[in-house]
Structure 1
Amino acid sequence: MTPKDMLLGLAIIFAWGFNFVAIRWGLDELTPMMLGGLRFLIIAVIGSFFFKRPNTPWFWLLGYAMSLNFGQFAFLFTAMKFGMPAGLASLVIQSQAIFTMLFAVLFLKEYVRPYQLLSIGVAASGLAVIGLNGDDTTMTVLGFAITLAAASSWALGNVITKTISKKGYDANLNLIIWSCWITPIPFFLSAYFIDGADVMWQNIININWKTAATLAYLSIIATGLGYGLWSYLMSRYPAGSVAPLALGVPVVGLTSASLVLDEQISHIQWIGVLIVLVGLIMNTIGGRWLARRANQKI
């Protein structure tokens, strides 16, 4: 990568890593469902002025919106409301890589290589260490479990995105933006039945500068700018060169949550964090290593 593009990559890492601190701030002012609904409504309203509607049929647009948008963030915001620290959430949500491989085998009939199975085992063992050792921290078992549900929803969205691409439809930033017209509907319906109309109205009329800034960050910076730059890098470089950048997101998430929110992680959980990162790195670079070995033999 050129130095300029490396800086853009670092900007993505910091935007997505700090995203979890912003979510924590947003949940101090809004309920999880209202935070999600308003976030995606802002993305849809602003983004549709700059990006044309994708050629993706409504059926697949709906599947994308309900899995990757609504499912992932409804679970993630709820998990952080019910005791999942922002820093650990930024790491545990990366277990989507494990669920994506499993769903790809089930629904796409893809083949899993031995190194991928090994990486799944390593990352899963790290998650187990984190999940079973939260007594001395603010993390709850419920929050941890719901975060895993968010990761599985993200993974299902990845499989749907791959299916959309295979069918020859748009699976780019246009899809992300226009799917956001669908996403607020289940969020606001959930808010109505979970929180009630009075709470929804109070959330809206009590929006202050901090809430507005948080929503702007989540929608414009983390989603619009973040995914826009990610698409730019993916279009210029091999996926194997860009994908490892995502490993920096939990590092920034854990660090920023510790510095800004004063979140504490136990020593044993830090060991679990390192184990998960090792598993994710094995999954990311394993394919490239095998390809290099194959080329050397040729």
Structure 2
Amino acid sequence: MPNNRLAWPAFFALVAATLLWGGSFIAMKIAMRGFSPLLVVFCRMVLASAVFGLLWRRLGGFRAAKGDWPGLVFMAFCEPCLYFVFEAKALTLTQASQAAMVTALLPLLTAVAAAWFLKEKLEGKAMAGLCLAVAGVGVMSASGEATGDAPYPVLGNFLEFLAMCCAVGYIVTAKRLAARHRPLYLTAVQSFTGAVFFAPVLFFTPFPETIAPGPALAVVFLGLGVTFVAYGLYNYGVSRAPAAKAAAFINLIPVFACLLSRVMLDETLTPAQWTGGLMALGGVALSARPGRKTPQEPSRRE
């Protein structure tokens, strides 16, 4: 029977991953000031792949069992491939904060998928926390105002929803693969596959005549801080937590994104948005708070 307890190392890894992912929306907006969206995605994949290339021996190369290859390919195809196709376009049509709001749908989608495919139990407390978090994000989204950076917010938010559907496939598949593969290995597969998938953009995407420091640094952050570190942390958390509980932390992304958008992009937060953010934080604390090990529960090697 699956272990529903969430240990503290996994808890902190998931929080750190969502903090970096929240910053990725702002970094993507900044990077797109100097580069085309898909070129940004390709560059971040190449940077992460270069780091994994240096760690190749420690990862042991691609030594997956024959039966694991379909799962590895499907995981990487869902995310980063299709995921970033949808999200890169979405961020050209809607605000970074609004796109981050849509990520609140991911935990509920993942909880249903995990119950169906992984036979994970849906706890009443977890579902109540998820509903509270989604309601909080809904308050944040409804109280937000469109700006000139969001010419088609409805379409942009819909594309972000499609990206969340792809993320569900990634999380559920990664949970299965984590039983036999290290988190860094799974992250490396995602990076290498993404670099190959997005390589054709070099043939039809124009390069900027000048490279501004801001967008260039944003690309470096996306490639190393997000694609390498954040995915590694999240894969670690997924490997040591139920998929539904790991996905609950996604509710923190819009909170972090709104806070960082205020600082980096000068987007304002209304009192209603602050209230919604606190609701989202409370929902995550309720649904994904690490539990205590009972005396009857056998110890598990990490």
Q: TM-score range by the shorter chain?
A: 0.7 to 0.9
- Residue aligning to 2:190: 179
Higher helix proportion, which one? 1
Secondary structure at 1:202 match in 2: coil
Q: Is the 8 A contact 2:129 2:284 kept in 1?
A: yes
Alignment counterpart, residue 68 of structure 1, candidates 71, 75, 79? 79
Structure 1 residues 278, 77: closer, same or farther in 2, change over 3 A? Answer: farther
Q: CA shift at 1:104, angstroms?
A: 0.9
Distance 1:7 1:239, change over 3 A: closer
Q: 1:246 to 1:148 in 2, by over 3 A?
A: closer
Structure 2 length normalisation: TM-score?
0.73
Is 1:97 equivalent to 2:107 in the alignment?
yes
1:288 and 2:296 matched:
no
Name the structure 2 match of 1:144: 157
Q: Matched residues in 1 for 2:192 and 2:146: separation?
A: 41
1:171 deviation in Å?
4.3
Shift of 1:145: 2.7
User: Per the alignment, in what secondary structure is the counterpart of residue 178 of structure 2?
Assistant: helix
Alignment length (residue pairs): 276
Does 2:279 align with 1:275?
yes
User: Structure 2 vs 1, CA of residues 232 and 175 (structure 1 numbering), >3 Å: closer, same or farther?
Assistant: closer
- Percent of matched pairs sharing the same residue: 21
Listed one character per residue, the Cα deviations across residues 83-109 of structure 1 (whole Å, up to 9, x for unaligned) are: 132x45445425422221111123223
Structure 1 vs Structure 2 CA RMSD: 3.9
- Measure how far apart 1:26 and its partner are: 0.9
* Runs (5+) with no aligned partner, structure 1: 1-5
Q: Which residue of 2 aligns with 1:42?
A: 47
- Does the 8 Å CA contact 2:174/2:238 hold for their aligned counterparts? no
- How has the CA–CA distance of structure 1 residues 94 and 174 changed in structure 2, closer, same or farther, with 3 Å as cutoff? farther
State the partner residue of 2:221. 217
Q: In the alignment, is the contact (CA less than 8 A) between 1:258 and 1:264 conserved in 2?
A: yes
Deviations along 1:262-284, whole A, 9 cap, x unmatched? 01244434433333333222211
Q: Which runs of 5+ in 2 are unaligned?
A: 1-10, 298-302
Partner Cα distance (2:183, 2:13) in 1: 18
Query: Partner of 2:103: helix, strand, or coil?
Result: helix
- Residue deviations 1:175-208 (CA, integer Å, cap 9, x gap): 212332221344355x58xxx82xx0335x6544
The 5 Å alignment of 1:71-82 reads 71-82=82-93
* TM-score computed with the length of structure 1 as normaliser: 0.74
